[in-house]
Structure 1
Amino acid sequence: MSLVFDMALVAGLIALALHVVVTRDGRGAILAFMAFGLLLGIGWARLASVDVALTEAAIGGGLTGMLLLRAQAHLVRHAAHPAALPTDRRRWLVPALSCGLVTLALAAVVLAFPRPAPSLAHQAVASLEATGLGNPVTAVLLAYRAIDTLLEKIVLILALVGVWSLSRDAAWGGASQLRPAIIPEPLVFLARVMPPFGVLIAVYQVWVGADLPGGTFQAGTILAAMALLVMLAGLRLAPQTQSRALRLMLAGGPALFVLVGFLGVAVAQGFLSYPEAIAKPLIVGIEAALTLSIAGTLALLVAGPPDRAPEP
């Protein structure tokens, strides 16, 4: 039964991928892409990569799909005569052959991996006690390669600044205008019911992430999705980009990360080195602050640049 389930999962992924590529219906392609992300999350779970599965479901099956739906709705509103896709099948021959060759090359590389595959998992697990954590993935992200994680969060902030820079001069400092028509009317009911559960799940993800699969990015994505659902349903307006509270939330996570990093210089072995006695509380505190920062950043990236003038 396990083999049958895996074969059905692979067949579903291939079918959805082909549908996304072939279909001429933009909205249908986006919905198929979101379904592909959810199925791919199940695939990662089958490979015992639960953290990757949660991230894929949240990003690939959730937030990215919402971003694409918003972009598609914007194009439909502003494109009076959408360009027709080329009908000459020969135009697709070179891309199709290129994709096939890349697929075969990747398959050859995967099949050439040594068995058993080289891994640093046992070193990561062996050093867990020093961090006070039970989840080796969290230890890798927040301790062993913390500088990479810090830079990733800073890149997110810079991406948001880039999006905001696309706004008209008169709208700078204002807010985006998320129109309720972007989502079907029945989802307004979900926008009233789901956020409390989403917040609870996000808090749980952060709390258990220190010892079990979960963590900051997954929790932040869930919070971002709840915020977008509320804004798209018209229950709340998008926040003003000039809001000090908003900017503090966005910068607070990376700022706390950097502050703890310099604390390591003073009392531990170096930058982003945690004192062993309080390593776990510091990491959990960083994760909590980063969750809010990631949630705000992702939600505002999807919302787009301000197109409403700032309030006086």
Structure 2
Amino acid sequence: MSIATVFEIALAAVVLGLAIWTIAVPDTYSATVGFIAYGLLVALIWVRLDAVDVALTEAAIGGGLGGVVLLGAAARLRDTEAMTTEAPSLIVRLSAAILSASIAAALAVAILLLPDPAPTLAPEVVSNSGATGMANPVTNVLMAFRGMDTMLEKVVLLLAIVGVWSLASDQAWGGRPGLRHQADPNGVLAFLARLLPPAGIVVGIYILWTGADHPGGAFQGGAVLASMWLLVIMAGLADTPPVRSRWLRLILVSGPGLFLVVGLGGLCFGPAFLAYPVAFAKPLILGIEVAMLLTIATTLGLLLAGAPERSAE
């Protein structure tokens, strides 16, 4: 047995144990911390499976921005959770455990019953990958082979921010999301908020640009930019923008809007919706990714900031 095999077995055991502990622990804050650690370990598993693009997304969302959302929710529920003494009954907990185990067993059986070799469209995708000029196969699949899915994912993000904003009261509508953060201007948080964003912005843009030929892309780069933006806001160096701002709404719709325009161009001047002209495929895809980078970064940051709670002034 090689060292790599031993490491993978140990990693799988730790992930399973951490998942069970996250579900079983009664404290919400502890469960949130366990979930964040679980997301980071799952990202490591994706790296071991040579799926670096998926690992970057999992680390940024599952262990990063998603963890911040859950930590904020846990902090808001702390007072009400302390007053709540009701716990699920033994029957409810056993039913949930049995259902979870049944789903896991069904997935395992489905994987074991797959034909060998498994049916795949990978050869067709690879044979036509040169039409986009993108060397990264993941970018080829997301922007060409599954272009409709990718565009609809950005529409879902836009609908998500609309849903969050709809939770605002009538008095706060059009105002700024979340509370105004204050931090020690000479503290560690303010120091990091001044030090990290310049490097983080460069890293986010680089992840976007290198996604054409190497692991990376708009979603991963956007998550990094959103993290830097939130760091500045949490340190009190900047405030969240009012949701009635026209430039903010323009950024939010720029990604799916440009994607739709390019798709309609392929329908009007080409053979099908989202059919890129071979001569302009790469510039069009890069243009869409730049617009999506701005949309994703802004949307993720605003989702974490929450619904408008105070006036723009």
* TM-score range normalised by the length of the shorter chain: over 0.9
Determine the structure 1 residue equivalent to 2:46. Answer: 44
SS at match of 2:130: helix
How far the C-alpha of 1:85 sits from its partner, in A, is 4.9
Match of 1:148 in 2: 149
- The reply on whether 1:169 has 2:170 as its aligned counterpart is yes
C-alpha separation between the residues in 2 aligned to 1:291 and 1:221?
9
Residue 54 of structure 1 aligns with an amino acid whose one-letter code is L
Match in the other structure for 2:124: 123
Q: Please give the alpha-carbon distance, in whole angstroms, between the structure 1 residues aligned to 2:258 and 2:97.
A: 47
> Which residue of 1 is the match for residue 261 of structure 2?
259
Deviation at 1:262, TM superposition (A): 2.4
Q: Within the alignment, does 1:210 sit opposite 2:212 as a pair? A: yes
Gap runs ≥5 in structure 2: none
Partner secondary structure for residue 134 of structure 1:
coil
Aligned to 2:95: 94
Cα pair 2:178 2:307 within 8 Å, conserved: no
Once residues 231 and 15 of structure 2 are traced to their aligned partners in structure 1, the CA distance between those partners, rounded to angstroms, is: 27
Indicate the percent of aligned positions where both proteins have the same amino acid: 49
Q: How does 1:1-312 map to 2 (within 5 A)?
A: 1-76=3-78, 79=80, 81-86=82-87, 89-178=90-179, 180=181, 186-311=188-313
Aligned-residue offset at 1:179: 5.2
One-letter amino acid matched to 1:60: G
Residue type of the alignment partner of 1:198: G
Whole-angstrom distance in 1 between the partners of 2:138 and 2:298: 23
Deviation of the 1:265 alpha carbon = 3.0
Tell whether the 8 Å contact from 2:204 to 2:221 is kept in structure 1 after alignment.
yes
Whether the 8 Å CA contact 2:182–2:236 is kept in 1: the answer is: no
In structure 2, distance between residues paired with 1:34 and 1:81: 23
Cα shift readout 1:45-92 (whole Å, capped 9, x = no counterpart): 11111111111111111111011011112223x538431252754542
Report the alpha carbon displacement of residue 165 of structure 1 after superposing the two structures with TM.
Answer: 1.0
Task: State the Cα distance separating 1:186 from its structure 2 match.
Answer: 4.1
Q: Secondary structure at the match of 2:308?
A: coil
Whichever residue aligns with residue 20 of structure 2, its letter is: L
Q: Distance in 2 between matches of 1:181 and 1:120?
A: 53
Aligned residue identity for 2:234: L
- Whether the 8 Å CA contact 2:178–2:308 is kept in 1: the answer is yes
| Per-residue deviation, residues 216-253 of structure 1 (Å, max 9, x unmatched) | 11111111122122212222111110111111111111
Residue type of the partner of 1:231?
I
- Residue by residue over 1:145-178, the C-alpha shift from the partner in whole angstroms, topping out at 9 and shown as x without a partner, is 2122111111211111111111011111101233
Distance 1:16 1:108 in 2: 23
| Contact 1:172 1:310 (8 Å CA) reproduced | no
Query: Letter of the aligned partner of 2:165 in structure 1?
Result: W
Q: CA RMSD in A?
A: 1.9
One-letter code aligned to 1:16: L
Distance in 1 of aligned mates of 2:211 and 2:86:
46
Q: Which amino acid aligns with 2:281?
A: A
Q: Distance in 2 between matches of 1:80 and 1:154?
A: 34
Q: Normalising to structure 1: TM-score of the pair?
A: 0.93
SS of the counterpart of 1:307?
Answer: strand
- Contact 1:220/1:294 (CA < 8 Å) preserved in 2? yes
Aligned length in residues: 308
